[in-house]
Amino acid sequence: MLSPAPTAEWIDQRSALERWLAELPPDASPGLDTEFMRRNTFHPQLALLQLGWNGRHALVDPLAFDLGDALRARLAAPGTTVVMHSAGEDLETLAPWLPDGPGTLFDTQLAAAFAGLGLGVSYRALVAELAGAELDKGETRSDWMQRPLTESQRSYATLDVVYLDTLHAQLAERLRQRGYADWHAEDCARLKQRASHREGEPQPQRGFRSAAEWPRAQQALLRRILLWRDRSARTLDRPRPWLLEDALALALAQQPPASLAELDQRGRGQRALRAPQRAELFDLLRVPADDAEQAATAPIPALPFGETKKAFAAMKQEVDRRAAELDLPPGLLCPRKALEEYAVTAEWPELLDGWRREVLHDALSALLPA
């Protein structure tokens, strides 16, 4: 039987939001969730904010008033722990109002992984496991920008924070018993840091593994194209693929157009690549990458092969062995992509810093190909 949603206060004025937050005790750990839309924009559009603590629940309408710094004063305070589930996109959505995230983040999806419940566990599954409640997910693809929201939407949104108290209490205790509270806290802090880094990836070409064998000059040109795409998409507030799909970005780096007319022809179908953007991109493509730009371009890591592939396989076995000892998912301990990168480049990935470096570095470095 589906669990009913309790009544939540509908907040459409700043004064009401400030009052709700002010009534939280100093040691409260409020639950927080968002509903947002990102179909036609680069930046996620905040459509609804859900808050909950100790039986009190609120649905905040950010379309009705300017949130300003109302959230920051209470939720970003150093002593405040905010409970969220799979917080990455929510933190990105809230970045204009919580630029550095909450004071302390407790992510229940991360906590579930450290607690031995699996990697990437959904909120619905976690509520069923720890609270014995069944949630309706019928509004997952709902239009959250519409007003008024339906009763079904309000119920769904409220339930997304109702059980965060329960999950927080049980998971925090499991982490304490298993000795993983500090590791979880470190990963939550890293998640906050990633969400607050809004300038974009400085080396986006590294994600295009198919270009790993390209000459450095072509890799540098690909980086230039991708950085331009990111800046332009942010400025225009349009999805990156609307400017340049990945396949077109690769093709332009491999074979720049000889004329603006050729770029016009090859760029047909790109919804945000209008005349001003095409002209700007064409000028950008006409200049070869000089030595300085090539030196500033991090090489794209190739897939492991030969001796490197053997080393990667041995490293993967070591990660699996260590994960079994720690009773943690291997993907939490060391994501495959990071391990491949280390095997190929012999440079310790930033993703594996912190507690993962302490656990893995010595054993994995000994397995690098000579």
Specify the pLDDT at position 4: 85
SS (H, E, C) 183-247: HHHHHHHHHHHHHHCCCCCCCHHHHCHHHCCCCHHHHHHHHHHHHHHHHHHHHHCCCHHHHCCHH
* Pick among 1.10.150, 1.10.287, 3.30.160, 1.10.3470: CATH of 204-296: 1.10.150
Tell me the per-residue pLDDT of 311-348, one tens digit each, with 9 for 90 and over.
999 999 999 999 999 999 999 999 999 999 999 999 99
Which amino acid, 185?
A
Could you tell me the fold of the domain covering 9-196?
Answer: Nucleotidyltransferase; domain 5 (3.30.420)
Instruction: Please name which of 340, 263, 249 lies closest in space to residue 303, comparing C-alpha atoms.
Output: 340
For the chain, give the percent of residues with pLDDT over 90: 93
pLDDT at 274: 95
**Cα–Cα distance, 338 to 349 (Å, whole number):** 6
Span between the terminal Cα atoms of the chain, in Å: 60
Residue 217 burial (CB count, 10 A): 16
| Whole-prediction pTM | 0.93
pLDDT attached to residue 366: 98
**Reduced to 3 states, what is the DSSP secondary structure of residue 97?**
coil
Tell me how far apart the alpha carbons of residues 306 and 299 are, in angstroms, rounded to a whole number.
19
pLDDT of residue 1: 58
Q: How confident is the model at residue 141 (pLDDT cuts 50, 70, 90)?
A: confident
CA distance linking residue 290 with residue 278, whole number of Å? 23
